[in-house]
Amino acid sequence: MTRILTVTPSQPEPQPIAEAATCLKGGGLVAFPTETVYGLGVSALDAAAVRRLFAAKGRPATDPLIVHVASARDIAPLVAGQVPEVEALAARFWPGPLTLVLPRSAIVPDEVTAGLDTVAIRVPAHPVAQALLRAAAMPVAAPSANLFSRPSPTRAAHVVEDLDGRIDLVLDGGPTQVGVESTVLDLTGDVPTVLRPGAVTLEMLRAVLPAVRARAHEGSDAGPQRSPGLLTRHYSPRAPLTLYEGSRDALLERLGRDAQASHAAGRRVGVLLADDDPFDAPGVIRPPLGPASDAAAMAARLYAALRELDAAGVDEIFARAPPATGGLGAAIVDRLRRAAAGRVVHCG
Ligand code: TXA
Ligand code: MG
């Protein structure tokens, strides 16, 4: 039985927070909102509980988890040695949607790091996540609260859809703000490297850390896995998705033609377009995503839109890349490329 407790996102009530903290302390699995997506939390120092979490999600044990703490002061016991960049990054971006990969200390179980000698840590900003971490008074390992390979949950209903009966508790704090997962920044190599783009952009990081670079082989499955969760096929809707990249007019023309041909052939078709993109095909399902000029709005709606298309039972999805101009544009393109798993059409 999964219990659902409603909390006020801006000012969470003490009672449900205390219940959720007690559940975590007892080794339970608790889904809670962060500013990015809902996380599925478990005591990060309880190896048996972490194994139950992997089982509940159907997640391969080779994919390491992010450890969440209430404040930058709480990372010391989890980290081996001093990493000089952390102080300035924490001062600028924590609490917030930035995860740092650091050398791990011996108290972090292998189950959390998938046996790596590094640990991913973040301080979430959402008031519910903050209240829960403070009440539990321990590090909480939390992947996104979805079944493995399903889109991350941005509402409590998404968590229930995937995990009802498999976890103990859901704190329902309404829809999350950012909508895509945190930026993951690896500080353990020679050069600080963004392994996963998010709301803290490369440009923002560069202001604090001029040497920072994006991961070289964006979304490639070839070669050794620096971060196993970064397999190309990861953020997937059930239906195959084709991504159209390039100049707006050329990609809309090509996408429109392909979507209509598929529809004419008798398939159920879904499209992911900006709300102001011209597109007229009766019978094609088009969830709202936000205007092309507002990447933050599109990111906030992206995973809900993918789930809506799945729920509508579409056979095929045609998606347009947002204009890749700074902000959350890069994160959206990254997630859509993974969902497309190689089906990318380059247009003029
Ligand atoms: O916004 C978020 O980050 C959300 C919320 C709940 O905090 N969490 C999240 O967790 O997206 P998850 O498990 O879905 O994604 C964690 C990512 C994976 O790509 C994983 O491979 C990477 O972080 N990661 C974790 N530990 C790592 C490590 N030691 N080295 C490199 N990558 C790591
Ligand atoms: Mg995930």
Structure tokens at 52: 């139950």
Res 323: pLDDT: 80
Q: Which ligand is nearest to the CA of 152?
A: 2
State residue 194 phi and psi, 5-degree precision: -80, 115
Distance CA 346, CA 240 (A): 17
Place of tokens 């920072």: 212
Res 234: pLDDT: 59
Count how many domains the chain has.
2
* pLDDT block averages, 10 residues each, the chain of length 348: 97 98 98 98 98 96 96 98 96 98 98 97 98 98 94 97 98 98 97 97 97 74 46 70 95 96 97 94 94 95 96 97 84 94 93
Identify whether residues 204 and 270 lie together within a single domain: no
Q: Which ligand is nearest to the CA of 196?
A: 1
Res 282: pLDDT: 87
Res 235: pLDDT: 65
* CA 122 to ligand 1: nearest atom: 7
Give domain status of residue 90, yes or no: yes
Give domain status of residue 229, yes or no: no
Give domain status of residue 295, yes or no: yes
Neighbours of ion ligand 2 (CB under 5 A): 144
Centre of ligand 2 from the C-alpha of residue 30, in Å: 15
Q: What residues contact 216, with CB distance under 8 A and at least 6 apart?
A: none
Identify whether residues 159 and 198 lie together within a single domain: yes
Identify whether residues 186 and 259 lie together within a single domain: no
Domain boundaries, position 132: 3-214
Give domain status of residue 224, yes or no: no
Res 228: pLDDT: 47
Please choose from 227, 232, 234 the residue to mutate so as to test ligand 1's pocket, defined by most ligand atoms within 8 A of CB.
Answer: 227
Identify the H or E element spanning 311. helix 295-311
Structure tokens at 299: 């990111």
Ligand 1 environment, Cβ below 6 A: 34, 36-37, 39, 63-66, 97, 99, 101, 113, 116, 118-120, 122, 124, 142-144, 181-182, 184, 195-196, 227-230
Identify whether residues 115 and 264 lie together within a single domain: no
The region that residue 327 occupies, defined by phi over 0 for left and psi between -120 and 50 for alpha, beta otherwise, is: left
Res 92: pLDDT: 98
Domain of 258: which CATH number?
3.40.50.11030
Centre of ligand 2 from the C-alpha of residue 120, in Å: 13
Distance CA 325, CA 322 (A): 8
| pTM score, whole prediction | 0.95
Are the C-beta atoms of residues 132 and 17 closer than 8 Å to each other?
Answer: yes
Packing angle between helix 295-311 and helix 156-163, nearest 10 degrees? 30
Packing angle between helix 295-311 and helix 329-340, nearest 10 degrees? 20
Strand partners, 319: 243, 272
Beta strand pairing call for 66-68 and 140-141? antiparallel
Domain of 192: which CATH number?
3.90.870.10
Contacts within 8 Å (CB) and 24+ apart, 79-88? 79/103, 79/104, 79/105, 79/119, 79/121, 80/104, 80/105, 80/106, 83/187, 85/187, 85/192, 85/209, 86/187, 88/208, 88/209
Res 204: pLDDT: 97
Res 227: pLDDT: 53
Are the C-beta atoms of residues 143 and 89 closer than 8 Å to each other?
Answer: no
* CA 104 to ligand 1: nearest atom: 29
What's the start-to-end Cα distance of the chain, in Å? 52
Q: Where are the beta strands (DSSP E) in 211-253?
A: 213-214, 241-246
Centre of ligand 1 from the C-alpha of residue 346, in Å: 29
Res 238: pLDDT: 87
Give domain status of residue 233, yes or no: no
